[in-house]
Homo-oligomer: A and B are copies of this chain.
Amino acid sequence: MIFDATDQKLLDLLQEDSKQTNKELANKLDLSVTAVFERIKKLEKAGFIEKYVALINKNKIGKPFVVFCHIKLLQHSHDNVVKFEREVSHLNEVLECYHLSGDYDYLLKVLVADMAAFREFMIKKLTNINHISSTHSMFVISEVKHTTAISF
């Protein structure tokens, strides 16, 4: 598939605002509406565009508290790893979970209402998952930058 500078610009625009009409995009890219339409379909089919989503304000819905949580496992047998990953994926407070190199095995991004809710999460959910050896939590004081848009 051909992927040129115009496709890049198009992805930049769609990553910023996916509700723009093809006409608006056409103006910005100096293309016809149909050309924009076809490029978008091409990018969707080729898997460049994964999905279109609404981003919502976490403060507005009462979950302003972000915690990053390092986790070390007791053992790293295949079964334990798979089980841990599956269980952690099902926790809806966990927005992101990464398997990492370094001292700790995993990094979790956890979203909750406040410190009390985080405590509940730790006690009732996280440490209820077996095979966790230790955890280390870091609280977000402020979000300096947060974007979903990848630059080229």
Contacts and interface: CB of A to CB of B under 8 A. Distances in A.
Interface of A: 11, 14-19, 46-58, 60-61, 63, 66, 68, 85, 88-89, 92-102, 104, 106-107, 111, 136, 138-152
Contact of A60 (B48, B54, B60, B68): B48
A89 B144 contact: yes
Given A56-B48, A152-B61, A66 B98 contact: yes
Contact of A55 (B52, B106, B146): B52
Contacts of A54: 11, 14-15, 18, 49-52
A63 B149 CA distance: 12
Given A51-B17, A53-B148, A54-B15, A143 B61 contact: no
